[in-house]
Structure formats: C-alpha cells, structure tokens
Amino acid sequence: MNTKKDLSTRERILHLMKTAGPLSAKELTTELQITEMAVRRHLGTMERDGLIESKMVRQTAGRPTAVYGLTELAEGLFPKRYHSLTLDLLDELAEEGGEVMVDRLFDRRKEKLSRRYMAEMQGKSLTEKVRTLSEIQNDNGYMTELQETDGGEYVLMEHNCPISQIANRYNHACDCELKLFESLLDADVDRTECLAQQGRKCVYVIRQRER
C-alpha cells in the first residue's frame, strides 16, 4: 500500500475521513498543509463525484459549520476481504462436518433466494422472467448482459461474480445458482462458461421447457 506522502490530495482526503471521521474544510486545510481554497476545490469535485457528502454541525459558539464525510460509494474504495473470512469459516465447517455441510448451506441459500424472488416471476412470460432475473442479478452486482438469439433462446451473461473467491473453492455454489435459475424461470438452463472454471464470464443459455 502507498505511504501517505505517495497519495494524491484526493486520496489523502479520503484516508483522513476514513480514519478520523467527518472533517471541516478548516480541519482538512490544517492536516493537508495546503490553502483552504485548494481544499474546497477538491471537496467540491469529490462531492460532485458522489464520494463525500456534507452536513451542518452546530458549534458551541458561532454559526454551524459544514463537515464532510464519506459516502457509501467512497467506502467501497477501501480494501475489504469479506471473502477471506467467509472462506475461513466454511473451511472450519468442512473440517468439522465434511463438505456435505457446506453444500447444505448453499442449498439453503438457494431455497431462501428462490422464496425471495419467486413472487416477482408469477404470471410472467419467459421473456419477462428472463429480463426480471437479469435485473435482479445486476442489482446484486453481477454486471449482467442479456441477448436473445434468432432461435428463440436467451443468453444471460454475468461479467462479475461477487462470490467468485468462494465459488472457486466450493463449486456447489455454482450448481445452486444454476438450479435457482431453472426454478425461477421454469425453463431449461445450460451454463456454457463459468468464471469459477477459468472462464471470462458466466454464460447461461435459456430456452423454453418442453411440456
């Protein structure tokens, strides 16, 4: 990681707000040792970019002062290794009860997601269901892309996988996603490419189920 002197002014502001909490322009001026005009120029740009937000705080004396803090978008810029903790816990579970216990967890997650989203599929055509599924996955961070072939099939592509680090080790997570899609869509679904198996993306080919 870069040392503080290697960071840009914007990065230093983000670092200060992360470690010290919301700060006023005057406090940032003191910490950064640059002019208040320069600080306010950076704050204005960062606020427009959605990285910080301001609020007025009452002082013991004098007028309220504006302080600036990080937004959720900015918080996402800092390293987070949730998958490491999750993998450690899953490894402990597998060691204690075997991988079958881990598989059961993914099965239960699949059932939970199925119950959560099934209502959104009721009464819809396959086309509508596929579009709804694409929107759900996109909202969950999968960066989806949807195409329809001349043969009436649908190709759902996921360019990102929020649980890829976990799925790389526990492939049952991918199996559960495939079964979830089949259940929600009531259709035949084939996965032709998978991020967890050295693919560049996850690709699902969806077609109407024969009755």
pLDDT tens per residue, range 6-19: 468 999 999 899 88
Please give the pLDDT value at position 5. Answer: 43
CB 156 within 8 A of CB 203: yes
Kindly give the residue spans of alpha helices, DSSP state H, lying in 21-145.
Answer: 25-32, 36-48, 72-75, 82-97, 99-117, 126-139
**How many domains is the chain built from?**
2
The reply to whether 193 and 129 lie within a common domain is yes
* HSE-CB for 140 with a 13 A CA cutoff: 13
Structure confidence at residue 4 (pLDDT): 43
* pLDDT per position as a tens digit, 128-149: 999 999 999 999 989 999 999 9
Q: Is the same domain home to 96 and 144?
A: yes
User: pLDDT band at residue 80, thresholds of 50, 70 and 90?
Assistant: low
How big is the CA angle at 169 (ends 84 and 100), to the nearest 5 degrees?
A: 105
**106 lies in the same domain as 202:** yes
Claim to verify: residue 99 and residue 198 sit in the same structural domain: yes
pLDDT at 1: 38
CA atoms of 81 and 85, how far apart (whole Å): 7
Same domain, 61 and 146: no
Residue 29's domain spans which residues? 9-76
Poorest-pLDDT segment among 57-61, 76-80, 101-105: 76-80
Domain boundary among 76, 100, 134: 76
List the one residue out of 166, 202, 197 whose CA is nearest residue 89. 166
Q: What is the CATH number of the domain that holds 46?
A: 1.10.10.10
Q: What is the mean pLDDT of residues 24-46?
A: 95
Q: How far is CA 158 from the centre of its chain?
A: 13
Average pLDDT of span 81-95: 85
